[in-house]
Amino acid sequence: MNAALAHVDETNLSHPINWVRKQRANAVIAAMKRRNFDAQYVENREAALQAVLALAPDGAGVFRTDSVTLDQIGLIPALRARGTNKIMYPQEKDGHGNNIHGDYEKNRVLYARIQREVFSADVYMTGANAVTMDGMIVSTDGGGNRVAPLLFGPTKVVIVVGINKIVKDKAAAFDRIRDFAAPVNVKRHFDMHNRPWYGELPCATTGVCSDCDHPRRICNYTGILEGSHPDFADRVKVILIGEEMGM
């Protein structure tokens, strides 16, 4: 054996895995720029938080949606600590885990009104279910409130996404959503939130998508961003994090 390699730990694949991920991230960023998305790569969640905060100028109204990735980077506590933005976050909780706007089931009209505020927000912050190697952004939700503002409405859209969301193409994005992200999200809502109907969805029991027709299915609306119109060329900002984030 080459003496220089004698002490190499061949069970540790972090270097080759991270190298491949970085090459893929660079390709995705370049492809997104060709599509008029203002995309950047950051190494970790701490750098992502700083990049996100830099995209929300003082005084800007910031609307954020349900996103584990945004929770993982610590967006809301950082915005609250900075204190220079109006924050709109329908799912925000108090220190005891209760929604500050009250029980979701009992206050649906209020929640719907708050959710519609996103369309006039200065900055909309969200995650994504998948990004393709050729630079598209794909997201699915049940009510359309997360997907719709991606397309039009808020002045600026900031999409924060982990490197685990990179897939080959649109078909693989749909596979990722149905095979993994949606069932995990259903299970998350069922286990962690007070919405028992999630338990009725087939994937909550099997962990597998059966392309159900349940009225509460969370896969009703899919938004695919294939590019930015020149009139809105600076609207969509993407922060791709070199870590596994969200689901």
Positions in the binding site for ligand SF4 (CB under 6 A): 178, 182-183, 186, 201-203, 209-212, 214, 217-219
d(CA 99, CA 68): 16
* C-beta closer to ligand SF4: residue 60 or 224: 224
* C-beta closer to ligand SF4: residue 146 or 156: 146
Closest distance of CB 211 from ligand SF4, Å: 5
d(CA 19, CA 148): 35
Closest distance of CB 175 from ligand SF4, Å: 12
- The enclosing H or E element of 125 equals strand 123-126
* C-beta closer to ligand SF4: residue 135 or 246: 246
- Give the other-Cβ count within 10 Å of 90's Cβ: 21
The one-letter amino acid code at 231 reads D
Closest distance of CB 215 from ligand SF4, Å: 10
* C-beta closer to ligand SF4: residue 156 or 178: 178
**Interacting residues of 3 by C-beta distance below 8 A, sequence separation 6+:** none
d(CA 145, CA 52): 21
CA 226 to chain centroid, in Å, comes to: 17
Closest distance of CB 241 from ligand SF4, Å: 25
As given in the structure block, the two tokens for residue 52 are 């996100």
Closest distance of CB 67 from ligand SF4, Å: 18
* C-beta closer to ligand SF4: residue 35 or 216: 216
Number of H helices, E strands in the chain: 9, 10
